[in-house]
Amino acid sequence: MKYGYAVDIGGTTVKMGLFESSGKLIDKWSLATDITRGGENIPADIGNSILADMSNRGIAREDVMGAGVGLPGQAHQEDGTADAVNLGWHRFPMIERLQRLTGLRIVTDNDANMAAKGEYWMGSGKGFSSLVLVTLGTGVGGGIVVDGRCMSGAHGAGGEIGHIPVNPSETRQCGCGGHGCLEQYASATGNVAIAREVLSESREPSVLREAEKLDSKVCWDAAIAGDMLAIEIADRFSDYLARGLAAVANTVDPEVILLGGGVSHTGEPLIRRVTEFYVKYAFPACRGTPIRRAALGNDAGIYGCMFSLL
């Protein structure tokens, strides 16, 4: 029996999993992400956790295929280093550090790319040869799989769907330094920004005006219930998202588009509304591309990390 370790590094939590080579998830656990000292302790925390698990289960090193690691930033394949602003990493020697600690083969990629690989392998993308995954969370992430291979790009920035410009007149600056990026509208935080804009433009009554906490879920729940201003918010959100999806589809022509992340929990109402706008912007040959909800949720990353070892 061969095993593989999966490591999905986030800004606050490191999600870890042990898999059989068949794809069966044996166990999963998490560690707190230690961002002190510029993230220097993270490789040791991960390595020690892997070694402890191998010892506890009696797994020999020769029976481990390696560890796949998803990074919240760029993975530089040419030298095995990583950039991750929220961890304090710039050209951080992640592969070398973790290999030295564990003696295992280490494979890295961007976390969104890993999630796309996971959905391709064991999620909603199973059975397709190409897909686009868009994660709608605090920001907008993405991963593109074509002919079974994830497009990481020449600089590790492949699949940065959240930074497709969709509004050239935007004056607010995106976190990337640009203006009018998809992430500014189609993320959970972007959803709230749209809501505040719509509410300020009108004096119409809305349950959202009395909401204790204005967030994406509250906005979508109100739209589903028929609140007119909430419907306007949902339409603006969906229109921007559809523009971004069409831009990717017109370039890549995937077999399926998958939506993941917290906002995707809205489910069918989101899928239906985004699809209505998408067909307006997509190239005719791409208009029939199905848009579906991703299946693996927060586990997509660790599945992708394991797939990267195969």
Q: How confident is the model over 120-168, as pLDDT tens digits?
A: 999 999 999 999 999 999 899 999 999 989 998 887 788 999 999 999 9
The predicted model gives 237-249 an average pLDDT of: 98
Task: Classify residue 193: in a domain, yes or no.
Answer: yes
Model pTM score = 0.93
Any idea which of 66-75, 285-294, 301-310 has the lowest mean pLDDT? 66-75
Q: Which domain holds residue 86?
A: 3-117+299-307
> Which pLDDT tens digit goes with each residue over 49-97?
999 999 999 999 999 999 999 998 888 888 999 998 889 999 999 999 9
Residues 104 and 152 in one domain: no
The predicted model gives 12-29 an average pLDDT of: 97
Task: Classify residue 217: in a domain, yes or no.
Answer: yes
Per-residue pLDDT band for 281 (boundaries 50, 70, 90) equals: very high
> Which pLDDT tens digit goes with each residue over 166-189?
999 999 999 889 999 999 999 999
With a cut of 80, say whether residue 288 has pLDDT above it: yes
Count CB atoms within 10 A of the CB of residue 270: 24
Count CB atoms within 10 A of the CB of residue 24: 10
Task: Classify residue 46: in a domain, yes or no.
Answer: yes
Q: How many domains does the chain have?
A: 2
Whole-number CA gyration radius for the chain: 20
Residues 141 and 94 in one domain: no
- The pLDDT value given to residue 156: 74
Residues 95 and 132 in one domain: no
The encoded tokens of residue 199 equal 């509410």
- The pLDDT value given to residue 148: 87
Residues 6+ apart with CB under 8 A from 86: 11, 35, 72, 73
Residues 14 and 111 in one domain: yes
- The pLDDT value given to residue 166: 97
For residue 233, the SS3 value is helix
Residues 111 and 132 in one domain: no
Residues 108 and 183 in one domain: no
* Chain Cα centroid distance, residue 197: 26
Task: Classify residue 176: in a domain, yes or no.
Answer: yes
Task: Classify residue 75: in a domain, yes or no.
Answer: yes
The predicted model gives 2-10 an average pLDDT of: 97
Give the residue among 248, 290, 14 at the shortest CA–CA distance from 125.
290
Task: Classify residue 122: in a domain, yes or no.
Answer: no
- 88 sits in the region (left: phi over 0; alpha: psi -120 to 50; else beta) called left
Residues 37 and 104 in one domain: yes
Residues 272 and 136 in one domain: yes
- Domain CATH for 131: 3.30.420.40
Residues 135 and 263 in one domain: yes
Residues 107 and 174 in one domain: no
